């Protein structure tokens, strides 16, 4: 997939609303490596008071939280999904969000754009943020 410009996205006011309404965030691709961006962002969001659910193919625990292998394996409500995966992986993530039925926000981190996938999610009633850092936006808008 070549680089895309995010045609489907949210604005500052919507992002503030999402953070205010969110309690639980699943982080797809949350690395156990503290030097990785996914780990730093998840740790920040955890310390900011959100419940973090790591989704990663290995590990049993990251940041003191139980690790799930997939979004569909999570056995509790999830408000937001933050994606640290390649753009082509967002197709399956969007489908899983739609299938779950409880996801309110699908957020892809900087460099991750998949307009087709997120449009499907948006058409299913899921709010979308693409190509933005959840930690940076939270710091800029919520503190």
Task: Indicate which CATH number applies to the domain containing 21.
Answer: 3.40.50.720
d(CA 10, CA 20): 15
Q: Give me the pLDDT at residue 72, please.
A: 97
Nearest to 110 by CA among 44, 62, 57, 38: 38
Q: Tell me, what DSSP letter sits at residue 57? A: S
Residue 5 lies in a domain: no
Residue 133 lies in a domain: yes
d(CA 121, CA 112): 15
Residue 112 lies in a domain: yes
Q: Give me the pLDDT at residue 5, please.
A: 80
Residue 93 lies in a domain: yes
Domain span holding position 134: 12-142
Residue 63 lies in a domain: yes
Q: What is the pLDDT along the chain (143 residues), one digit of tens a residue?
A: 456 787 778 899 999 999 999 999 999 999 999 999 999 999 999 999 999 999 999 999 999 999 999 999 999 999 999 999 999 999 999 999 999 999 999 999 999 999 999 999 999 999 999 999 999 999 999 97
- Give this prediction's pTM: 0.94
Residue 73 lies in a domain: yes
> By the 8 A CB rule, do 106 and 121 touch?
yes
Tally the domains of the chain.
Answer: 1
Nearest to 128 by CA among 92, 97, 88: 97
Residue 6 lies in a domain: no
Q: Give me the pLDDT at residue 6, please.
A: 76
d(CA 94, CA 119): 9
Residue 1 lies in a domain: no
């Amino acid at each position: 997939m070549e680089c895309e410009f995010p045609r489907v996205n949210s604005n500052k006011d919507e992002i503030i609303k999402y953070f205010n309404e969110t309690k639980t965030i699943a982080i797809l691709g949350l690395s156990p490596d503290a030097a990785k961006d996914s780990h730093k962002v998840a740790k920040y969001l955890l310390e900011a008071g959100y419940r973090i659910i790591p989704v990663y193919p290995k590990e049993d625990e990251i940041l003191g939280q139980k690790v799930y292998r997939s979004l569909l394996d999570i056995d509790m409500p999830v408000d937001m999904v933050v994606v640290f995966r390649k753009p082509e992986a967002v197709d399956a993530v969007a489908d899983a969000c739609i299938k779950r039925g409880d996801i309110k926000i699908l957020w892809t981190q900087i460099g991750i754009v998949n307009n087709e996938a997120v449009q499907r999610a948006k058409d299913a009633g899921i709010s979308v943020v693409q190509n933005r850092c959840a930690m940076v936006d939270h710091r800029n808008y919520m503190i």
